[in-house]
Structure 1
C-alpha cells in the first residue's frame, strides 16, 4: 500500500485544523481538492478518517491512531529535504543566533569568541526572540541556532532539538532593602505584597505562571535595566544565579532564602537548529561550550 506525501500532508492539515476549508488555506489548495485527496486516502485505507459534521471534520478513532505516524513521516520528509539541500552548500557566510533573555551574556560572548576563532570569515548576528519566533525562523531558514527555555524533545519535528541544561534562578533584592532584613519565615508573605520586577522574556515564553508571586508586578524588557532597578531597591526579582554570582559584590544584591521555597527555581534550556550539514559542526561546538560553562559555574 503506497501513500503520497500530498495525501499525508492533507490528512495532517485537516486533523490539526479540524476543517477542510482551513486545511486548504494552510496548504494553498482548493477545498474540493483537499476533500478529494482525503476521500482517496480513505478508500486506499478502507477506513473513515474523519466524521464530516457541517463545515468541521472530527477525526475518527482510526484517524487519531494514524495521525502521529503521518505527522512523523511529514516531518522526516522535511528533514530529508533540508539535509539533502544542505549537502551542496559550503560553509555558512552568515549565522543568525536567536536567544532568550535568560541566557547569560558572557555565554554569548564565549560563543562569539569560539566562532571567531574557528570561522573567522563568518558573520554572526545575535537576536533576542521568543520561542515561537525561534521556531518560525528555523522553519523559514532565517535563524540557524536558537536558545529557548523549554525542554521539548518530541520526535515530531522537522528541526534538531537538543536539551542542554537547567539554569538555576534565585530570588534577589537589594542588600539595603527591607526584605533583606526579614527573618526567613516572614519573607514569603512580604514578597506577595512587594513589587516584583519580571523580565518580559518570562511572559513571552509562557513561564510567568511559575514565577509570578506578587500581584504587584512590573514588566521590564531589558535585562540590564532590570538589574539596575533591583539594585536601586525598586523591587525584587527572580534572576539567574550564574549571572549574579559572577558579578559578586558589584551588584550589591541579597539572595532571599524562604522557608516555603527550599530549592531554587530551575528552567530548562534547549538548543534548536535546522537539520543541515553546514550547521551540524557549529551546533556541536556551541553545545559543548554551553554545557562546559554551566558545569564550571556549578562546581565553584
Structure 2
C-alpha cells in the first residue's frame, strides 16, 4: 500500500481545518485538487476518512485513528529532509543555546569555555527560554541547542534529544535564619506557613503541583533574585542542589533536612538539538563539558 507525502499533508490539513477550502488555502492548492487527493487516498485505503457535511467535514472513526500516525509520518519526513539538506552544508559560525532560568551558571560557563577551546571563532548566544519556546525556536531554525526539563510523554521527532541525567532540588533558606534552626521534624510544617519563592521556569513546565507547599508564594523569573531574597530572609525556595558548589551560596544559604523528605525532588534534563550534520561536532563539545561538570560536582559531594 503506497501513499504520498502530498496525500498525508492534505489529509492532516483537512482534518485540522475541518474544511476542504481552508485546507487547500493552507497548502496553497486549489480546493478541487485537495478534494481529489483525499478521494484518491480513500480509494487506496478502502475506507472513508471524512463525512462531508455541507461546506464542512468531520473525520470518521477511521480518520481519527489514522490522524495521529499521519502526523508522525509527516514529522519524520521533515526530519529526513533536514538531515539530507544539512549534509551539503559546512560548519556553523554562530549558535544559540537556550536554557531554563534554573540552570546553574557554572554549567553554562563550563560549556562556553569548552566551546571556546574547541571552536575559537564560534559565536555563542545564550538565551533563557522554556521548553515550548525552545521547541518552537528549533522548528524555526533560531535555536541550535536547548537544555530542557523533560517528563514522560510523547516523543518529539523534530529534535534530537540526549538524556543528561537528573538534577536534585532541595528547600533552601537563609543560613542562620529562623527556618534553619528548626529540627528536621518541624521543617515541613514551617515551610507550609512561610513565604515560598517559585521559579517561573518551574511553573511554566507544570511543576506547581509537585513543588508548591505554601499558600503564600511569589513567582520570580530570575534565579539570582530568588537567591538574594532568601539571603535577606524573605522566604524560601526549591533550588538545585548543585548550587552548593558555590562558596557564596554556602556562606549565605542553607539546604534543609526534612524528616518527611528522604531525598530532594529530582527532575530529568536533556539536551535538544536539530537533526543536522552541522551541529554534531559542537554537540560533542557541549556533552563533554556537561559530563565534566557533573563529574566535578560529584567529586565535591563525595
Q: TM-score, normalised by structure 2?
A: 0.88
Q: Give the CA deviation at 1:128.
A: 0.6
- Supply the distance in 2 between the matched residues of 1:56 and 1:147 (Cα, whole angstroms): 42
Q: Verify the 8 A CA contact 2:118 2:285 in the aligned structure 1.
A: no
Q: Structure 1 residue 82 and structure 2 residue 98: aligned?
A: no
Q: 1:26 to 1:105 in 2, by over 3 A?
A: farther
Gapped regions of structure 1 (runs ≥ 5): none
Q: 1:26 to 1:287 in 2, by over 3 A?
A: farther
Q: Structure 1 residue 7 and structure 2 residue 7: aligned?
A: yes
Moved over 6 A (4+): 53-56
Q: Structure 1 residue 205 and structure 2 residue 193: aligned?
A: no
- The aligned residue for residue 218 of structure 1 is 218
- The aligned residue for residue 134 of structure 2 is 134
Q: 1:27 to 1:169 in 2, by over 3 A?
A: farther
- Supply the distance in 1 between the matched residues of 2:246 and 2:111 (Cα, whole angstroms): 17
Q: Verify the 8 A CA contact 1:152 1:161 in the aligned structure 2.
A: no
Q: Structure 1 residue 19 and structure 2 residue 18: aligned?
A: yes
- 1:229-286 per-residue CA deviation (whole Å, 9 max, x = no partner) reads 1111010000001113433664421212222222211111111111110101211221
- Supply the distance in 2 between the matched residues of 1:141 and 1:155 (Cα, whole angstroms): 19
Secondary structure in structure 2 of the residue aligned to 1:163: strand
- 1:115-167 per-residue CA deviation (whole Å, 9 max, x = no partner) reads 11111111110011111111111111111101111146855512211121111
- The aligned residue for residue 94 of structure 2 is 94
Gapped regions of structure 2 (runs ≥ 5): none
Q: Give the CA deviation at 1:201.
A: 1.2
Q: 1:155 to 1:182 in 2, by over 3 A?
A: closer
- Supply the distance in 1 between the matched residues of 2:166 and 2:52 (Cα, whole angstroms): 45
- The aligned residue for residue 262 of structure 2 is 262
Q: Verify the 8 A CA contact 2:244 2:250 in the aligned structure 1.
A: no
Q: CA RMSD in A?
A: 2.5
Q: 1:174 to 1:77 in 2, by over 3 A?
A: same
Q: Verify the 8 A CA contact 1:19 1:55 in the aligned structure 2.
A: no
Q: Report which stretch shifted further, 146-155 or 223-232.
A: 146-155
Q: Report which stretch shifted further, 242-251 or 80-89.
A: 242-251
- Supply the distance in 2 between the matched residues of 1:264 and 1:63 (Cα, whole angstroms): 45
- The aligned residue for residue 179 of structure 1 is 179
Q: 1:25 to 1:104 in 2, by over 3 A?
A: farther
Secondary structure in structure 2 of the residue aligned to 1:149: strand
Q: 1:34 to 1:181 in 2, by over 3 A?
A: farther
Q: TM-score, normalised by structure 1?
A: 0.89
Q: Verify the 8 A CA contact 1:72 1:155 in the aligned structure 2.
A: no
Secondary structure in structure 1 of the residue aligned to 2:168: strand
